[in-house]
Structure 1
Amino acid sequence: MKNLLYIVLLTVIFVGCDDRLEELNTDQKNPASVAAESLFARATREAVDNIVSMSVNDNPFRLYSQMWAQTTYPDESQYTITAREISLGIWTNQYRDVLIDLKDARQIIATELAEGTSGNSDANLGNRMAIIDILMGYTYITMVDIFGDIPYTEALDPTNLNPVYDDAATIYTSVAGNLTTASTTLLANTAEGGFGSSDLVYGGDAAAWARFANSIKLRMAMKLASTNSATSVTWANEAMTAGVITTNAQNFAMTYQTSSPNTSPVHEDLVLSGRADFIAANTVVDMMNTYNDPRRSVYFRENLGAGVFDGGIYGDANAYANFTQIGDILHQPTTPGVLYNAAETHFLMAEMVERGGYSVTGTAETHYNAGITASFDQWGATIGTYLTEPTVAYTTATGTWQQKIGTQLWLALYNQGLEGWSTWRRMGYPAFNAPPTMTVADIPVRMTYPLRELTLNGTNYSAAASKIGGDAVTTRVFWNQ
C-alpha cells in the first residue's frame, strides 16, 4: 500500500512538472500565430513612422530636403551615409518591419477567404487584401524613389537570401496596376469596409483607401512626366477619374497618442530625447522671409523675437540658441504623420495644366492657389494677403512655372522630407544651398545601397549597381534623368 502511495505521488509530481515546463516554454509575448489585423496595424504604424521619423540613423530626408539643419553633429547634412549605416536602417525598416508583416497578413486573409473561417464576408476580405496591396505598393515606390532598382519579385521569399534587383521602371508599372486593381475593388464594395478599428488611418473607410491609392498613382504619374509623358498622362488621367485626395479631411494622416510609446516619432526626437540637434534651415527660412509667409510662425518658433526668423547655415554645425527653432506644433506628441496631403494634389493639377495633354479643367493659377490654401488650412495658419503678394501671386511671381509650382509645393510639403527632396530632384526647385566646402553637385539625388548587400548579396548588388550607372549618390533614379 505504501509503495502504491509513492507511485501515485510521483506521478502527480511529474505531471505537474510537465505542465509547468510547457507553460514556461511558451513565449507569452510572442505568440505562434498573429491575427491579420494586428500585423496590418503594426505594419501601418511602421510605414508611417519610417517616413515621419527624424532619427539620424534611418531618415535624413528633412535634412536632404533642406527644411531642417543640424547643430553639434552635422554629418547627415554633409551627406555622410555609411558612418551610421543610414541605408541599412531604411532598407531593414521597410522590408522587415513593413513589407513582411503585410505579406504575412495578406496570406492569412487569403487562407481565411479560401476556407471561410474568418466570419467576415468575402467582399470584406477582398477589401482587406486590396488595402494591404495599396500599402505595399506605397512602400515599394518609396524604396524605388530612394534607391532606384531594388528587390521586388523575389524580395519577401524567406528561402531566397539572394533576391535579384528588379528594374525600377518595371516596379512602377507593376505597382500602378496593383493600385488600380485595389482602388476598383474598394470602390465596388465600399459598404464592406476594411480593417475597422485596426485601421489606424482611415478607420475602415474603403473609399478613403481608394482615394489614397489613386493619389499615389497620380504622384507616380507626375514623376514620369519628363521621362515618359505618355504613361504619365494615362496614369494621371486614370487616377483623377477614379478619385483622388482633394481636401485635408481626406489626407493620409495617422494621429499619434499623448503618451509613450505611441507618441509621434518627431516628438520623441525633439522632446523625449532631451537633445537640441535640429533647427530650421536657412534654405527654407530665407525663402519664407522673402515671401513674408505667415506659416513661419507655425512651422517654426519665434525664439529670436516676435516675427524674427533666422535659419541655421545648412550643412554646418550651428548653435541651437542662435537660430530659429522647430515649431511647437512638431513638439506635440499627437501631431499626425502625413504621407499625402491635399495640397500636393492641387499643385500636381497646376502642373498638369502647364504641361498640357492631361484631362484636367481649370487654370494653373486656380490650382496653384488651391494648393497654397490647402497647406495653410492643414497647418491652421491664417493666409491673409499671401496669395496677392507680388512674389507669390502666380501672374507676378518671378521664374518659370516649374519654379513657381515647385517652390510652393515644396513649402507645402514641410515635415514630409522625402517628398520635399523628391520635388527638388524632379522639378529642380527651389534652389538648394550647398553645405560649406561642397557644391550643389554634391547634394545626393539617391541613397546608396546598404553595405551589407555588397557582402551578403554581392552578385545581384553588383548587377544592379552596374545597371543604374553606379551605386553613388550622384546616380539619378530612372524618373530623374
Structure 2
Amino acid sequence: MKTILSNISGMFLIGAACLLGAGSMTSCTDGFEDANRPGNKIDNEQLNRDNFASGSFLVQLQNQTFPEQENAYQMNFDLIGNYLGRYLTYANHGWNSSNFVCFNAPNGWAGYPFKDMRPKVVSAFNEIAKLTNGEGINYAWALILRAHAYQYFTDVYGAFPIGKGDDAQAYSSQKEVYEAIINDLNKAISIIQPMVSADPDLTVNAAYDNCYQGKFAKWLKFANSLKLRVAIRMRFVEPALAKQYGEEAVAAGVMTSNDDNLCITYTPNGLYKTSVEWGDSRACADIDTYMNGYNDPRIEKYFKPTATSAEGARKVIGCLAGAAIGNKSVADGLYSAVNIANNAKGVWMTASEMAFCRAEGVLAGWNGMGGTAEELYNQGVRLSFDQWGAAGVDSYLADDTSIQADYVDADGGYGKSMGHVSDITIKWDNDATAEKKLERIMTQKWIAMFPNGQEAWSEIRRTGYPKVFDVAQNIGSALKVANRIPYPNEESINNPNNYNNALQMNGGADNYETKMWWQKK
C-alpha cells in the first residue's frame, strides 16, 4: 500500500520537525551510480544526487511517520489511535486504572509522541533539508513524510510546536499547522509532478524506500491522497478551502486502485507484536457488533476466533472499551486477537479510504469527484473487499436490513451486554437525509480503514460516526471518545509561555475534552 510526501511552509523548516518517518528507500537502477561518479571519486554533490548521504535520514523519517517497530507502534499509535478509534481495546489488567480510553493515561504515555517521535522527525527532516539545499526529489519526499507526521501530531494534541521565527519551541495553532501541511504537500507535488510526467516509471532510492520501492508515481498519488484526507478533515471548519484542496487533489490524481495503497515493510509487524505476541490488545466491542451485525465477511480477515467461540456462530468477540480487565491471560482467551502475521505489511492509506472521501466530497458539493456519492460509496466497499480478499461484496451492498448487533459480552467476560446504538443499514439510499447518507459513508469508511486507528479516531471525532458505545467504567466524563491528548507535564514547566499560548490557541484546558479546531459539525 502507498504513502505521500509533502512540503511544509518555511516556518516548518526553521525549527520544526519532520512529519513522517517509517520505511526505506531504494537506490537507482543498476549502473546509475558509477555513470555519475567520474573516476569513482565521490564528492558531496554526488552523494546527495545518488542519495547515499540522505538515505538513512529518509529511512528514519519513514520509520517515524509510519511507526511499525513494536515500542514506537504501541506508544505512538496503538494505545492512542487504535483504542480511541474503537478497533481495539486493552486486555492488559495493569492498565485498568490509567489509560487513554478512560481519560487518565500516565504522563509518560501522553508525552511519548511529543518527546520521542517529534525529535526524531525534526532531526531527520532538518538533515535532509541541509543535504539537499531544500530542493530535488529527496527533499520533496521528506516534505511528504513531514506532512504526514505533522498531521498526526496536530490531530493528537491540537496546537503544536513547529517553530516560529527563532523559537523552535513556539506553538502554531492547528489551523496554522494544517496550512503548513498543505504548503508542504503543494511544494512536494510541484517538484515530483514534472519528473513523473516526463518519466511515469521514475524509480529513485529503491533501497531506502520500504513503501513504494522508489516508484515516485506512487508517492505522487500518496501526496495527492494525503491532501484529500486533509481537505475532508477541514470540511466543516473551512468549507471553501476544503473544497478547493479536495478538488485540486482529485484532479491531480489520488489513489484509485489497491496497487496504490501505502503499506510499509517492517518485520516484525507492530500490530502482530502488540495483539498477537504480547496479547496487550483485543478486538473492541464496537467493531465486533457492526461487523457481526452486518454479517461482514471481512471480520475473520481482521480478527481471529476466540478459544471459546471457535465452534460457535459468533467467532469474533470484542471487549467493551474501558472494561475493567481482571486477568490478562483470561481476557486473551475470551476476546479476539488481530488476525495478522509477523511479516505482514503495515497499512497506512488505501484507495478505499479515498473513494469514501470522494463520496463525502459529492455530499459536500465538491466538483470532479469521479462519480456520484452512491457510485463512490459502493466503490469504497468493493475496494476494501478486494484488498482483504473477501467474497460476497454484491450481496453485502444489496443488504438493506442488517444493522449493528446488540453487544453480548463473552461468558465470564469483564464488561456487560449493551443494546446497539446505530440502526444504519448497508445498502445506499438516495432518498435518505444528508445526515443518514453521511452516517452510512462514515460507518463503512471506518470498517474499511482498519487497522488505521488514528484515522478512525479522527473521523469519529469529526463526524460523530460511527456511533459507539459508552466507556465501560464510570470515569466521570460525558465523552465517549477523547477529543485530544494532553501535552506532557514538562511543557508547562520548561516551556511555560509557549505552553500557555497553545492552550489559548486550543480554546480550552489541557485535557481530553477540549476539541480539535476541525470539530465543528
TM (normalized to structure 1)? Answer: 0.82
Q: 1:343 to 1:434 in 2, by over 3 A?
A: same
Larger Rg: 1
2:122 to 94, 99, 102: 99
Give yes or no for contact 2:284–2:321 (8 Å, CA) kept in 1: yes
1:175 has 2:185 as partner? no
Please name the residue that 2:4 is paired with.
none
| 1:131 positional shift | 0.7
1:277 has 2:280 as partner? yes
| 1:421 positional shift | 0.2
Partner-residue secondary structure (3-state), 2:74: coil
1:320 to 313, 331, 349: 331
TM-superposition CA deviations, 1:399-429 (whole Å, max 9, x none): 7111101111111111101000011011110
Please name the residue that 1:394 is paired with.
428
Partner-residue secondary structure (3-state), 2:66: helix
1:461 to 482, 489, 499: 499
Q: Distance in 1 between matches of 2:270 and 2:452?
A: 13
Which segment is superposed worse, 98-107 or 416-425? 98-107
Give yes or no for contact 1:424–1:430 (8 Å, CA) kept in 2: yes
Which segment is superposed worse, 169-178 or 290-299? 169-178
Give yes or no for contact 1:221–1:231 (8 Å, CA) kept in 2: yes
Please name the residue that 1:437 is paired with.
474
Q: Which has the higher helix share?
A: 1
Q: Distance in 2 between matches of 1:239 and 1:425?
A: 23
Please name the residue that 2:354 is paired with.
345
Matches within 5 A, 1:94-173: 94-110=117-133, 126-154=136-164, 163-173=169-179
Give yes or no for contact 1:50–1:93 (8 Å, CA) kept in 2: no
Q: Distance in 2 between matches of 1:82 and 1:305?
A: 34
Instruction: Give aligned-pair identity as a percent.
Output: 26
Matches within 5 A, 1:64-463: 64-71=84-91, 72=93, 73-74=95-96, 75-76=98-99, 78-83=101-106, 85-110=108-133, 126-154=136-164, 163-190=169-196, 191=199, 193-257=203-267, 263-272=268-277, 275-303=278-306, 304-306=309-311, 307-308=313-314, 309-318=316-325, 319-321=330-332, 323-329=334-340, 332-384=341-393, 385-390=395-400, 391-395=425-429, 400-435=436-471, 436-438=473-475, 440-441=478-479, 443-463=481-501
Please name the residue that 1:55 is paired with.
74
TM-superposition CA deviations, 1:158-190 (whole Å, max 9, x none): xx5x62111221221122122112112111112
Q: Distance in 1 between matches of 2:323 and 2:143?
A: 41
Give yes or no for contact 1:102–1:136 (8 Å, CA) kept in 2: yes
Q: Distance in 1 between matches of 2:146 and 2:381?
A: 30
Q: 1:297 to 1:50 in 2, by over 3 A?
A: closer
Partner-residue secondary structure (3-state), 1:189: helix
Give yes or no for contact 2:83–2:101 (8 Å, CA) kept in 1: no
Q: Distance in 1 between matches of 2:159 and 2:332?
A: 42
Q: Distance in 2 between matches of 1:78 and 1:350?
A: 30
Partner-residue secondary structure (3-state), 1:202: coil
Q: Distance in 1 between matches of 2:478 and 2:253?
A: 38
Q: Distance in 1 between matches of 2:172 and 2:276?
A: 40
Q: Distance in 2 between matches of 1:252 and 1:57?
A: 19
Partner-residue secondary structure (3-state), 1:326: coil
Q: Distance in 2 between matches of 1:70 and 1:477?
A: 25
Give yes or no for contact 1:69–1:312 (8 Å, CA) kept in 2: yes
TM-superposition CA deviations, 1:202-231 (whole Å, max 9, x none): 111121111111111101111111111100
Q: Distance in 2 between matches of 1:195 and 1:323?
A: 46
| 1:195 positional shift | 2.3
Partner-residue secondary structure (3-state), 1:466: helix
Q: Distance in 2 between matches of 1:206 and 1:381?
A: 30
Please name the residue that 1:479 is paired with.
518
| 1:154 positional shift | 4.1
Q: Distance in 2 between matches of 1:265 and 1:437?
A: 31
| 1:50 positional shift | 6.3
Q: 1:289 to 1:77 in 2, by over 3 A?
A: farther
Q: 1:468 to 1:80 in 2, by over 3 A?
A: closer
Give the AA of the match of 2:378: N
